[in-house]
Amino acid sequence: MSTTLEIAIFLSMNGEAQDAINFYKRHFNAEQLMIVTYEDLAKMGDKSIEINDENKNHISHSILKIGKTKVMMNENPMDTNEKYKSGNNTSLCVQSADLEEIQQFYNSLITDERVRIIVPLASNIFSKAYGIIEDPFGIQIQLCFDERLK
């Protein structure tokens, strides 16, 4: 197992990510490590989201540090086919700077017939390997190669 492996809590906030970030900063002295809006994604070349005045400031990805724990947030559930409800707004984000490790985790997980693939592991605008599965217990797990963890 690599020394860069980490698991973070990931919260989908139903359009209230900025409010939640401000809440955690105010009450837990959370440090904001990163924030990427839909508009930022569009500027990076992501054409998967249609940008308008209502959603341009929505948060696609953010990272807060509360004590020693990273909490990530965005606006929507991991499975965009599902409507937001309490229960589908929490996932785990398994990250590593070891690309092979992320690929091995994904390949191992999908051998279990009870695992549902939400987003197949593939390269995208922010990672050489990113995918989302749902485990047999209803927990959605994001797998992400992140070379910044080195």
Owning domain of residue 16: 5-149
Q: Is the pLDDT of residue 148 over 70?
A: yes
Q: Is the pLDDT of residue 86 over 70?
A: no
Q: Is the pLDDT of residue 87 over 70?
A: no
Q: Cα(148)–Cα(97) distance, rounded to whole angstroms?
A: 7
pTM over 0.75: yes
The percentage of residues in the chain with a pLDDT greater than 70, rounded to a whole number, is 98
pLDDT digits (tens, 9 = 90+) for 18-73: 999 998 999 889 999 999 999 998 898 888 878 899 888 999 999 999 988 999 99
pLDDT, residue 82, reads: 78
Q: Give the strand pairing for 6-12 and 69-74.
A: parallel
At residue 84's C-alpha, the angle toward residues 48 and 102, to 5°, is 60
Between 103 and 75, residue with greater pLDDT: 103
Quickly list DSSP for the chain: --TT-EEEEEEE-TT-HHHHHHHHHHHH--EEEEEEEHHHHHHTT--SS---TTTTTSEEEEEEEETTEEEEEESS-SSTTSPP-TTSSEEEEEEES-HHHHHHHHHHHTTSTTPEEEEEEE--SS-SSEEEEE-TTS-EEEEEE-GGG-
Between 51 and 103, residue with greater pLDDT: 103
Number of domain units in the chain:
1
Please report, for the domain that includes residue 26, its CATH number. 3.10.180.10
Q: Is the pLDDT of residue 79 over 80?
A: no
